[in-house]
Structure 1
Amino acid sequence: MITAKNIHKYYDNLHVLKGVDLHIKQGEIVSIVGASGAGKTTLLQILGTLDIPEKKENTSLELNNQNVLLMKDKALSKFRNKHLGFIFQFHQLLPEFTALENVCIPAFIAGNDKTITEKEAMKLLDYLGLSDRIHHKPNELSGGEQQRVSVARALINKPNVIFADEPSGNLDTASAENLHQLFFKLRDEFGQTFVIVTHNEVFANMADRKLVMVDGLISNK
């Protein structure tokens, strides 16, 4: 599902990623942990095609059997929209839109039919326990509800991979636990692959595999 080789990243003179190699299988839940500054979020952004690595010999990144480093911008954007989903610590819902409208946005960007998309979005929100909140705007939702809306948004295009960056970082303990259990339920029911950066050690240890980043490299495989 994901194969990355010799991934480097510099910010000015700072060498953040120093030749990361990894392989993640379809349907696997992988957590990435490490101290602040170890390169976790930078790696997640590159794996999710939101950033690009340095051009080095033997550097490659394959997602769903596609070499994304060879794609032009337009093709890459289309690939990202169709195959990848994102969940962030700060849910990044658009405040002027309802929960339903926020969930639909990636599908509308993909050019999907409005009626079919809204029906699918309502099914997802119902699945996530939000059927009575579909017409509420973000400021009318709790933190846990907002994060579940962002999960539905990440799922609307039925992506192969979900990338999550500290998804429970702003949630209380109960909401965080519910979100963590939801990821496993989604994997079991829909077969998605999850790559999750987290400081939550309990959650990290629940994953199928925990990768520890130290000074720009994965210290375990």
Structure 2
Amino acid sequence: MIIANNLHKKYDELHVLKGVSLHIKKGEIVSIVGASGAGKTTLLQILGTLDLPSKEASTSLVINGEDILNMKDKAMSQFRNLNLGFIFQFHQLLPEFTALENVCIPGFIAKRNKKDVEDEAKKLLDFLGLSHRINHKPNELSGGEQQRVAVARALINKPAVIFADEPSGNLDTNTAENLHQLFFKLRDEFGQTFVIVTHNEELANMADRKLVMVDGNIV
């Protein structure tokens, strides 16, 4: 599903990633852990096509069979919208829109049929236990409910890969545990691949594989 070779990231004199290579299989849940500054979020952003690696002779990134680094910007944006989903520590819901409308946004960006997108969004929100909250705006939802709306938004285009950056970092212990269990339920239900950056040891240890980053590389 994801094959990355020799990923480097340099910001002037700062060398953040130092030749990361990894292979993540379809349907696998992989956690990435390490101290602050180890390069976890930078790696996640590059794997998620939100940033590009520094140019090196043997660097490559293939996701779902597509050669990412040879794509033009428009093609990469379209690939990201249709194939990748993102869950962040701060849910980043748009405050003026309802839960249903927030979930629908990636589907509308993909120019899918409005009714099909709304029907799919309602199914996802029901699956996540939020069918009674679809017309509520983010400020009317609890932190856990907001994060589940963000999960539904990440799933709306049936992406092959879900990238999560500290997804439970802003939640209380019980809500975080529920979210962690949800990831495995989603994998079993929809077959998605998950790549999760986390400081939460419990979540990290639940994953199929735990990758440890130290000083810009996987050890």
Structure-2-length-normalised TM-score:
1.00
Q: How does 1:62-211 map to 2 (within 5 A)?
A: 62-211=62-211
Which secondary structure does the structure 1 equivalent of 2:196 belong to? strand
Partner of 1:25: 25
Q: Quick one: distance in 2 between partners of 1:158 and 1:73?
A: 22
Divergent runs of 4+, >3 A: none
Give 5+ residue unaligned stretches, structure 2: none
List per-residue Cα deviations over 1:16-44 (Å, max 9, x = no partner): 00000000000000000000000000000
Name the aligned partner's letter for residue 91 of structure 2: H
Which secondary structure does the structure 1 equivalent of 2:189 belong to? helix
Name the aligned partner's letter for residue 134 of structure 2: I
Which secondary structure does the structure 1 equivalent of 2:105 belong to? helix
Name the aligned partner's letter for residue 5 of structure 1: N
Name the aligned partner's letter for residue 171 of structure 2: L
Q: CA deviation at 1:144?
A: 0.1
Partner of 2:214: 214
Q: Quick one: distance in 1 between partners of 2:212 and 2:110?
A: 35
Q: Quick one: distance in 1 between partners of 2:184 and 2:19?
A: 30
Q: Aligned pairs, how many?
A: 219
Q: Quick one: distance in 2 between partners of 1:79 and 1:109?
A: 12
Q: CA deviation at 1:136?
A: 0.3
Q: CA deviation at 1:12?
A: 2.0
User: Aligned-pair RMSD on alpha carbons?
Assistant: 0.4
Which secondary structure does the structure 2 equivalent of 1:195 belong to? strand
Q: Does 1:8 align with 2:39?
A: no
Which secondary structure does the structure 1 equivalent of 2:17 belong to? strand
Q: Quick one: distance in 1 between partners of 2:182 and 2:202?
A: 15
Q: Quick one: distance in 1 between partners of 2:9 and 2:109?
A: 30
Q: Quick one: distance in 2 between partners of 1:198 and 1:36?
A: 10
Q: Quick one: distance in 2 between partners of 1:175 and 1:18?
A: 35
Q: CA deviation at 1:11?
A: 1.5
Partner of 1:34: 34
List per-residue Cα deviations over 1:118-174 (Å, max 9, x = no partner): 010000000000000000000000000000000000000000000000000000001
Q: Quick one: distance in 2 between partners of 1:67 and 1:115?
A: 33
Identity, % of aligned positions: 80
